[in-house]
Structure 1
Amino acid sequence: MAITNLPTLRQLRHLVALADHGHFGRAAEASHVTQSTLSASIKELEQVLGAQLVDRTKRRVTVTPLGQSVVTKATRLLQEAEDLVETARANQGPLSGPLQLGVIPTIGPFLLPRALPALRRRYPGLKLYLTEDLTERLLEQLNAGKLDVALIALPYDTPGFEHASIGEDAFAVALPESHKLAKLEKIDPERIDEEPLLLLRDGHCLREHALAACRLSGRGQTDTFQATSLYTLVQMVENGLGVTLLPKIALDAGILKGTHVVTRPIAGKSQARDLALVWRKGSARRADFELMAGLLHQALTGGKGK
Structure 2
Amino acid sequence: MIAKLEMLIALAQERHFGRAAESLSITQPTLSAGLKQLEDHLGVKLVERGSRFGGLTPEGHRALVMARRIVGDTRRLRDEMRAKKDGLSGKLRLGVIPTALTWASRLAARLTERHPGIGFSIRSTSSQNALTMLENLELDACLTYLDNEPLGRVSTVRLYRETYRLVCHRAHPFAARGRVGWAEVAEQKLCLLTPEMQNRRIINRNMLEAGKTPEALIEANSTVVLAATVARGDWVTILPGDIADFLVAGKAMAAVPIDDAGHAHAVGLITEFQEPHTPVLTALMQEAARLAEAS
Please name the residue that 2:142 is paired with: 150
Please name the residue that 1:135 is paired with: 127
Contact 1:104 / 1:132 at 8 angstroms: preserved in 2? yes
Please name the residue that 1:31 is paired with: 24
For 1:167 and 1:213, how far apart are their aligned partners in 2? 19
Give CA deviations for 1:8-53 in whole Å, capped at 9, x if unaligned. 1111111221222222211111112121211111121122123332
- 3-state DSSP of counterpart to 2:218: coil
Contact 2:171 / 2:233 at 8 angstroms: preserved in 1? no
> How many Å apart are 1:164 and its aligned residue?
0.4
Alignment of 1:191-270 (within 5 A): 191-211=184-204, 217=210, 219-253=212-246, 255-257=247-249, 259-268=251-260
1:291 to 237, 262, 286: 286
For 1:17 and 1:53, how far apart are their aligned partners in 2? 13
Find the structure with the greater CA-based Rg: 1
Tell whether 2:258 aligns with 1:277: no
> How many Å apart are 1:196 and its aligned residue?
3.7
For 1:48 and 1:257, how far apart are their aligned partners in 2? 59
> How many Å apart are 1:89 and its aligned residue?
5.3
1:79 counterpart letter in structure 2: G
Q: Which has the higher helix share?
A: 2
For 1:33 and 1:274, how far apart are their aligned partners in 2? 41
For 1:270 and 1:59, how far apart are their aligned partners in 2? 49
Contact 1:214 / 1:271 at 8 angstroms: preserved in 2? no
For 1:117 and 1:287, how far apart are their aligned partners in 2? 16
- 3-state DSSP of counterpart to 1:156: coil
For 2:171 and 2:119, how far apart are their aligned partners in 1? 47
1:144 counterpart letter in structure 2: N
Alignment of 1:107-122 (within 5 A): 107-108=100-101, 110-122=102-114
Tell whether 2:168 aligns with 1:179: no
For 1:223 and 1:283, how far apart are their aligned partners in 2? 44
Contact 2:95 / 2:130 at 8 angstroms: preserved in 1? yes
For 1:305 and 1:60, how far apart are their aligned partners in 2? 50
> How many Å apart are 1:264 and its aligned residue?
1.6
TM-score, structure 2 normalization = 0.84
> How many Å apart are 1:93 and its aligned residue?
8.7
1:181 counterpart letter in structure 2: F
Q: 1:248 to 1:100 in 2, by over 3 A?
A: same
Contact 1:171 / 1:214 at 8 angstroms: preserved in 2? no
Q: 1:287 to 1:51 in 2, by over 3 A?
A: closer
For 2:275 and 2:125, how far apart are their aligned partners in 1? 22
For 1:238 and 1:271, how far apart are their aligned partners in 2? 27
Q: 1:205 to 1:218 in 2, by over 3 A?
A: farther
For 2:264 and 2:83, how far apart are their aligned partners in 1? 34
Alignment of 1:50-69 (within 5 A): 50-69=43-62
Please name the residue that 1:48 is paired with: 41
> How many Å apart are 1:288 and its aligned residue?
2.4
Identity %: 28
Contact 2:181 / 2:258 at 8 angstroms: preserved in 1? yes
Contact 1:214 / 1:266 at 8 angstroms: preserved in 2? no
For 1:117 and 1:238, how far apart are their aligned partners in 2? 29
**Residue correspondences, number:** 291
TM-score, structure 1 normalization = 0.81
> How many Å apart are 1:241 and its aligned residue?
4.6
2:37 counterpart letter in structure 1: E
1:174 counterpart letter in structure 2: V
Unaligned runs of 5+ in 2: none
